[in-house]
Amino acid sequence: MTEARAQIQQTLDDNKVVLFMKGTKDMPQCGFSSRVAGVLNYMGVEYRDVNVLSDENIRQGIKEFSDWPTIPQLYVAGEFIGGCDIVTEMTLSGELDQLFDKAGIAYNKEASEKIREANA
């Protein structure tokens, strides 16, 4: 196991929700990362943000780890969920709520409803 892979696995083991992104949850550095972080922040989800721009090994390693070519990448309970488009679709369909419920992750259900209402 490469060092990057071991580091990624450790991060996933230590945190229920992890977003590998460009920038940080407080200062995203790309629109797609900003959108996913925005959804999680608005829903009040506690998550670990990993800035792939600060570590080239992690930036490349996460793409190999998930076999997914783009960033951001959201993981819930150690499972790769997807990138911006998938997270957006899941938020709007209510699937993300179900996923959080199943994994025992706290979030603001009201905020989640507001996102769907605003995009209906």
* Residues annotated in a binding site for [2Fe-2S] cluster: 30
Residues 33-71, buried b or exposed e (16+ Cβ, 10 A)? bbbbbebbbebebebebbbbeeeeebbebbbebbeeeeb
Q: Annotated binding site: which residue ranges?
A: 30
CA distance 44 to 58: 26
CA distance 49 to 19: 5
